[in-house]
Amino acid sequence: MAIPFPDIDPIAFSVGPLVVRWYALAYIAGFVLGWRYALYLCGLTKDARPNALDIDDFLPWGILGVILGGRIGYVLFYQLPMYMAEPLEILKVWNGGMSFHGGASGAIIAMLIYAMVKKISFLRLADIFCCGVPIGLFFGRLANFVNGELFGRTTDVAWGVVFPHGGPVPRHPSQIYEALLEGALLFVVLYLFARNDAIRNRPGIIAGTFLIGYGLSRVIVEFFREPDVQIGYIMNIFTMGQVLCVPMILGGAYVVWYSMRRGLRNG
């Protein structure tokens, strides 16, 4: 038993030579909805910074950090030998190739610099930013499914899907698993935390929880996801995604501990 892959064109629409893909729309939706959600969260603490104006000003910084970091991370973590042989391919972002862990690193650097320039709390900014990230993850993973990429390992479960590039056997729709865990579930958890005054007034708890939640979700899903063909398994057990999540989980745990220890300080 298997579910045939839905006949969805990865191209959403085209206008003359301009081609717009669902994957690009997923990025746009993530940034726009995440930005609007961040403005809403600022309204919960009207007298604190970052405020709505800070979020508006940070948006281009965040976009640049995510895109540059995501591309650089993919080059370094997943395809370094190929890009060293053909460095001009790095610029061809339209061919795909983004790393979440690289994007997260780029966003953290952007937040650190922005917080220092604007003299605002880095941890408060990180809390607000991280609350919106699951929105982008949700749409991004759905776009991965539409593209028929990053599919799962072979399976005999009733909801297995036969992907166009995955051979004739059914596979786990691991993109959907990730959309539900990293996107929907993590969004709800962080929303509940953001609505809690005691947690919101301890800068860093939400950001640390995001790092832990994403890391654990990714580690779990990677057991169902087909590893990258050019890398395979590390130590014949783990995938690159799982290895990269270890420092995320540890770092998130430290941030939560640090924030709890500081108590009600402003970060």
Map out the domains of the chain as residue ranges: 3-262
Q: Show the low-confidence residues of the chain (pLDDT under 70).
A: 1, 46-47, 94-96, 263-267
3-class SS at 243? Answer: helix
Residue 179 CB burial class (10 angstroms; 0-12, 13-18, ≥19): buried
3-class SS at 76? Answer: helix
- Say whether 21 counts as a known binding-site residue: no
Q: Given this model, what pLDDT does residue 2 score?
A: 82
Place of tokens 């990714």: 218
Asked if residues 145 and 176 have their Cβ atoms less than 8 Å apart, the reply is yes
Q: Given this model, what pLDDT does residue 267 score?
A: 43
CA-to-CA separations, 37 to 118, 159, 177, 191, in angstroms, rounded: 21, 33, 23, 10
Q: Given this model, what pLDDT does residue 259 score?
A: 94
Q: Given this model, what pLDDT does residue 266 score?
A: 46
- Cα torsion angle, 144, 149, 150, 154, sign: positive
Q: Residue 11: which residues within 8 A CB-CB, separation 6 or more?
A: 19, 20, 21, 22
Q: Given this model, what pLDDT does residue 128 score?
A: 95
For 118, the enclosing helix (H) or strand (E) is helix 100-118
Q: Residue 20: which residues within 8 A CB-CB, separation 6 or more?
A: 11, 12, 13, 14
Secondary structure string (H, E, C) spanning 173-216 = CHHHHHHHHHHHHHHHHHHHHHCCHHHHCCCCHHHHHHHHHHHH
β-strands 161-162, 3-4: how paired? Answer: parallel
For 39, the enclosing helix (H) or strand (E) is helix 22-42
Strand locations in the chain, DSSP E? 3-4, 11-15, 18-21, 161-162
Place of tokens 């899907």: 161
Q: Given this model, what pLDDT does residue 122 score?
A: 95
Q: Given this model, what pLDDT does residue 189 score?
A: 98
pTM, two decimals, is 0.90
Q: Given this model, what pLDDT does residue 231 score?
A: 84
Q: Given this model, what pLDDT does residue 1 score?
A: 67
